[in-house]
Chain A
Amino acid sequence: MVILPVVFPLVMATGGVLGIAGVPLPGVEIGIAVSAAVLGMMVALAARPSLWVAALIVGVFAVFHGYAHGAELPPGADALSFSAGFVIATGCLHLTGIAFGLLVRWPAGLIAVRAMGGIIALAGLLFLGRLV
């Protein structure tokens, strides 16, 4: 429960650094679409991988997400404001997801969470289809 939300921002920042530095990373948008498909599918199937597998999956996808943010910084933008803004926005999205995920303690909530995972997976596959 601790490792993933603690490690994710740091790995995402690493991806961001790569994007800022202009290091070539092929298939960034594909990686983002795949992350939605894979993670959504795991939620839909209520998969419970081992910690190192989960950390590896989240870490790889975090690099793609961070890279996209770093590469998209508008020229001349204030660095700290931009970084603080997207860090706060990402954190809020995480909190929203965690809060929604807490619904699994109820039978109807479990169905809702898994259904949302399925919707996210479908959206990821849709984006992937448009990219390929």
Chain B
Amino acid sequence: MSVPVRLLLALMLALIPEGASAHSVFGITGFSGGLLHPLLVPAHFLAVAALALLIGQQQWPHRVPMAYAAALVAGLGAIAMAYVPDFAEDGVLVFGGIAGLLVALARPLPWVLGALLAAAIGAMQALDSPPEAITLTEANLTLLGTAVSAVIVLVTLARIASLPHQPWQKIAVRILGSWIAACAILVLALKFSR
């Protein structure tokens, strides 16, 4: 069993105790709530999925996920300092849409561009993840859970996205990227029209 799959299973096992409680999914706070956040916020999951598809498609080095993780941590640090910008959700959609478009294009791209895009997505995702907690400890645990989960999800999906070798599989990846970009375009259009 590969390392990313093991990490994903560990993440799922870490969620089981909370899942057995009487709390609703969206009522879960603390570290477990943070773990769930990147999975349950549609815009975040789309952006991370698009970035993961791009990383896997381009076969970029580990520096790109590391750039994502660094920016994510920096953004969560800003959140901890009570900096919560309004533009973060739009930023997630914009950069996620860009990642989807690049997947659809399937042109060779330098890893530096990937690192910049990954950092942008990580930062926006972090800034759009203010914890809903009462105590400072619970808030920090939520942020920690968000960071751990987001990086695991990205690494796991990127590993899966690097597996396709058959032509039809590579086409399917491009189609997925196209659909993610279409989704982001529509949501942004809806947001700006209101």
Residues of A within 8 A of B (CB): 1-2, 5-10, 12-14, 16-17, 20-21, 70, 73, 79-84, 87, 91
Contacts and interface: CB of A to CB of B under 8 A. Distances in A.
Interface centre among A1, A2, A7, A13 (most CB of B within 10 A): A13
B152 to A, nearest CB: 23
B182 interface: yes
B159 interface: no
Contacts of A17: 185-186, 189
Contact of B185 (A8, A13, A21, A91): A13
Interface of B: 42-43, 46, 101, 104, 171, 174-175, 178-179, 181-183, 185-187, 189-191, 193
B42 A87 contact: no
A14 B190 CA distance: 12
A6 B189 contact: no
Contacts of A80: 42-43, 183, 187
Given A10-B104, A80-B42, A81-B42, A2 B174 contact: yes
Contacts of B43: 80
Contacts of A81: 42
B171 A20 contact: no
B104 A83 contact: no
B90 to A, nearest CB: 12
Contact of B189 (A10, A12, A70): A70
A13 B187 CA distance: 10
24 contacts: A2-B171, A5-B175, A10-B101, A10-B181, A10-B185, A13-B181, A13-B183, A17-B186, A20-B190, A20-B193, A70-B186, A79-B186, A80-B43, A80-B187, A81-B42, A82-B190, A83-B183, A83-B186, A83-B190, A84-B42, A84-B183, A87-B183, A87-B186, A91-B179
Given A13-B185, A17-B185, A81-B42, A6 B104 contact: yes
B191 A79 contact: yes
A124 to B, nearest CB: 24
A9 B189 contact: no
A7 B187 CA distance: 18
A12 B101 CA distance: 14
A7 B42 contact: no
A7 to B, nearest CB: 7
A83 B181 CA distance: 11
A1 B171 contact: yes
